[in-house]
Each structure stands twice: as C-alpha cells, then as structure tokens.
Structure 1
C-alpha cells in the first residue's frame, strides 16, 4: 500500500495514527472577514491579502445581521467579535458593520494596519468609541527597516502615525508583531517598549495581550501531525484551541451566501468550510492542516 502523505487523510495521519480533532463547545468568538483586499501586499501574508486579491469579497452588513440574529436565536455564548481582512477599513460598509457588532454588547476587536484606509474613518471611530472596542495594529517589528522588509516601502511611519492617533484619542489599542526574525521574546518586547515610549504610544509591551507576538507559519519547515495521543504528551487541552469556540464568516467570490470557516487561518481550504449556518459550523474540526500543528498546537498561537 502506498504511503499516505501528511495532512491528507481526515481521520488518519501518515503514520497510521488517529488524527486529533477538536469538538465545538459553542461560539464564543465570531470572526468576520471583511474581504481580502488590502492597501498592502505583505511578503508573508497568510491570507495573501493585496490590492488585487478579492478571493474573499467584501462582507455585507446583511451577512453580519443574519449571523448575529442566528447567534441570538441559538443562544450562543458570544463574548467577542473580531473583524479582520484584508484591511477592514477598505470595506465600504465597515462603519455600519462595526455599529451592528457593538450593538450586541460583545467586545469588538478590529485588526488593522492603521494606515490611510483607517484614517478615512476617524470621525466614525470617534463616534463609536467604547471600552468594548479595541483596535489591534499590525506592526511586524519595532525597527522600520525590518517592518518594511515584510510590508513594503513607506509602510512603517504611516502605521506609527495611525497608532499615535489612536493612542492620543484614548482608544483601547494593541499591537501584533511577528517572530520571524527568531529574536528572543524579551529582546523583542524591550525593543517595542522603547518604540512606544519614544512615540508616546500607550501600550504596555510586557503585556502579552497588548503586544501579541505571533508564531510563524511557513511551508518549508517540517511539522508533525497531531494525533489523539498528542494532547497528553504535550499537556494540551483541545478546548483551548481556536476551533473549539471560534468561527469566521467569509464571503467567497461568486458564492451565493457568506459561509463559516472553521479556522481563521484557512478560509480557502474547502476541508474547513462549515456551510452558511451555525448548525454546520458546530461540527468537530479535524486538525488536518500543517498550520493546525505549527501555529495552534505547537506554536500556541491564537488570533483572538
């Protein structure tokens, strides 16, 4: 019998062991992908956002309202709504979507690069400012040259300017950094702390929720598949993984309806499509992708 390639069989690993899966315990965090269009084309963007990538088209307010109604009808334990992209502030309905999300009473987290698209919405943001609204800004490195190695020329200072505006206006803010340069975490946090102090940005770089340093995802590094035995070996609880309590709503180009992805990191993989209703989205998630291992289980990453 031919050997099975890793991460192909939904039930069995390449070594013949039972693949791990994660049961859904209820929707605690709802992610909304605003669309994959972005003002930047980053070198290692996991979702390949760019000024031309519209594989995920703009999410509509009606999509969001439909899902929020289903969340209420089914009594989901929703506490947080995350909005990601692409760049969310390029979505023409983002202000209305934000308002609808805040009206639920849940905490709302918006992932943004804080550049020109966000600055076009300053008045709307000020009008919606709330202690339940947090904006997390992607700043890949505290050094401008390394940040721009990932995000492109002239991308650092506009992001800093956006962060300074958010900070000066009293918004709850956070920063998302990257670990692809393999520096010690303490060194990274110290570098960000110096930057925040120099620029007058009110973020505590020692707080892992205020400065999130994400593990990397790449296709070159060999990663093991996650089996049912791994939970005990690694001392991990599957209920702590994102797919136990989070789903992401996406609108794929050409699709009639918006649908749920079981994982925020895998919106293009049909194996992780959960259909347009929460009943389908409640199925267990098989950890049948290398990023399940690399980012979530072994890397300890979480988008929320």
Structure 2
C-alpha cells in the first residue's frame, strides 16, 4: 500500500479524523442510501495517462484482478444486508484487461442490477472474446448495460495530450463498434483545459452528432465532466457547520450512496473502501465486508472537499 504524503499547500490540515486544523468538528457522512457498489477490476491498463488519479499503467498491479467468484460473494452480501443497490460499477485500470470482465458483468446483470463499465474502448475491449461477450450481454440485457468511455476532450489533439498519440482514433474505433452493435454508451471527459461547462457540452454534442453517437451532451449522467484532482491545491476542510453554510446535505456526497471493492496485491481477500477516488489512503479502508463498510466516513482528505462537497461530482450514472 502506498504512503499518503500530506500536500504542502494543506500543511496542518487533514491530520485528525474527527477535528479540523482549527479545532472544529470534522464533517462525516453516513451510508444513508447505498445505490452503487463499485468493483476495481485491477490497476493494470493498456496505456498510462498523464493525470491518472489511480496511477494505472501497463506495469502497476498494486490492485490485482478481482474474480467473478469474489464479485458474486459481494452480490450475496448486498442481498443479505438489504442494501437498495441499483447499479454495479466496474472501474480500473482498464476493466477489459481483466479476463473475467464479461463473466462479472453477466453475474450482476443476471441478478437485475444495472451495470456501468468505465473503459477507454481501446484494444482490450476490442479483443474478439470481449466483443462477443458484449454482444451477448447487449442482446440479453439491452440498456441495463452501459459503457462509459473516457474521451478526455472532443478534440483529438487534447485527448492525445493526456493519453498518448493515436489514442483518440483507437477510442473512436471502439465507440463506432459499440454504436454499430447497439451497446449503450456514456462519456467521461475532463475540465483541465478550462473550457466552460457550456462550451464543453457544445463541443461534445458536435462530436456525438458527427459520429452518430446516441449520447446526450447536456445530461451530466451521460456526459460526465470531471475536474482534475490536484492534491497540492489549497482547499478548505469541511466542518459540520459547512452543511448549513453551503446549503448542502451529507446525502449529496458520493460516500453516502456508494462503496468500492478492491483487491490489493498480496492480500488474501478483497477489501471495501469508502470512495472510488481514494484507493491508496489507508484511513478510507473500511473492512472486508459490506457490514463493516456501513460505518460513517469522516471527510479527512482534500478530495472530499474539492471534488465531492464543493465540486458536487459523482462517479455514478
């Protein structure tokens, strides 16, 4: 497990789980409406992006491949705990690097869950076995399956700036195949270039129209625009008083509605994390079972403030 270094810009902050630097009571979030359970399929990826928050690459196996049997075990726990889960999400790394990706998605779909897979739609997804599996799942479950494609920017040169030369065209090839085979798509983009929300959505709308992609650029669930998660940026700590000041509810924060399961290299079994964005922060590891993961989450990290409370972002559809 990686050590988490305290960013210089936030020196003195985010040190105590219960109290902020000025002695105020730190805000916490209860798991009030568990709607999404995420599985990290492993940190291995076919490419290495410039600003990957989880440091995925062709060599990073800090999080190893989770198995279909392990996923099914957590689906059993959802039912045993009575969690009202609507959606199962898969993220990586690149999920289609995991040889059991189709089997895992099928296990979730067969139990009635919606399934969301985050992918770059490149070569791992385009392997013959994966394409055949996706065609079968689409035939059996239709729009219960969604692939959210990483298109960092609608302009090829900016997308390739993040993901490497030629990446945009390879992703576009995968998206065309998904379109032609009726697989439901969404898109995840980035706001690092400073475009306004309106300009970004107009650009994606033109991109979708040009290629015949049935994706709504105005719907934040279909076109998700993520801010960069810079841990060195100065951010305020969130206290219990902030809910009233910001006119925001703890239920609006991502950890009120989701958890993520990962399997660390060398670990005998998977573990449950509070958040998809903090895979290497030990404080946000809640235990091996969903029952253990039902406890409150204290917002003791810059991402909690900048990305979730102030940014209002969510990884779910």
TM-score, structure 2 length as denominator?
Answer: 0.93
> Take 2:176 and 2:213, find their aligned partners in 1: how far apart are those partners?
6
In 2, Cα distance between the equivalents of 1:6 and 1:188?
33
Q: Is the 8 A contact 2:28 2:298 kept in 1?
A: yes
**Would you say 1:236 and 2:245 are equivalent positions?**
no
Contact 2:81 2:291 in 1 (8 A): no
Given candidates 255, 267, 277, the residue that maps to 2:279 is 267
Q: Any conservation in 2 of the 1:26–1:282 contact (CA below 8 Å)?
A: no
Q: Deviations over 1:172-220 (max 9, x none)?
A: 1100000011111111111111111112222121222111111221023
Tell me the residue number matched to 1:125.
134
1:69 to 73, 76, 86: 76
Counterpart for residue 25 of structure 2: 18
Partner of 1:143: 155
Partner of 1:170: 182
Work out the CA distance in 2 between the residues paired with 1:245 and 1:113. 25
Distance across 1 between alignment mates of 2:245 and 2:176: 44
Deviation at 1:45, TM superposition (A): 0.5
What is the distance in 1 between the residues matched to 2:162 and 2:225?
A: 15
Partner of 2:216: 204
CA contact (8 A) 2:37 2:258 kept: yes
CA RMSD of aligned residues (A): 1.2
Deviation, structure 1 residue 167: 1.5
1:40 deviation in Å?
Answer: 1.0
State the SS of the aligned residue for 1:202.
coil
Please give the residue correspondences for 1:1-304 in structure 2 after superposition, counting only pairs within 5 Å: 5-120=12-127, 121-129=130-138, 130-304=142-316
CA distance in 2 between partners of 1:167 and 1:182 (Å): 29
Rounded Cα–Cα distance in structure 1 between residues aligned with 2:11 and 2:144? 47
Q: Residues of 1 paired with 2:196 and 2:223: CA distance?
A: 15
Structure 1 residues 272-296: Cα deviation after superposition (integer angstroms, max 9, x where no partner): 0011111110010000000001110
Asked if the contact 2:13–2:20 (Cα under 8 Å) also holds between the matched residues in 1, the reply is yes
Point out where structure 2 has 5 or more consecutive residues left out of the alignment. 1-9
Instruction: Give the distance between the partners of 2:166 and 2:43, measured in 1 at CA.
Output: 21
SS at match of 1:212: strand
Query: CA offset at residue 102 of structure 1?
Result: 0.6
Question: Alpha-carbon deviation of 1:237?
Answer: 0.7
Q: Which moved more, 1:194-203 or 1:133-142?
A: 194-203
Q: Is the 8 A contact 1:193 1:205 kept in 2?
A: yes
The whole-number CA distance in structure 2 between the counterparts of 1:198 and 1:26 is: 39
TM-score normalised by L of structure 1: 0.97
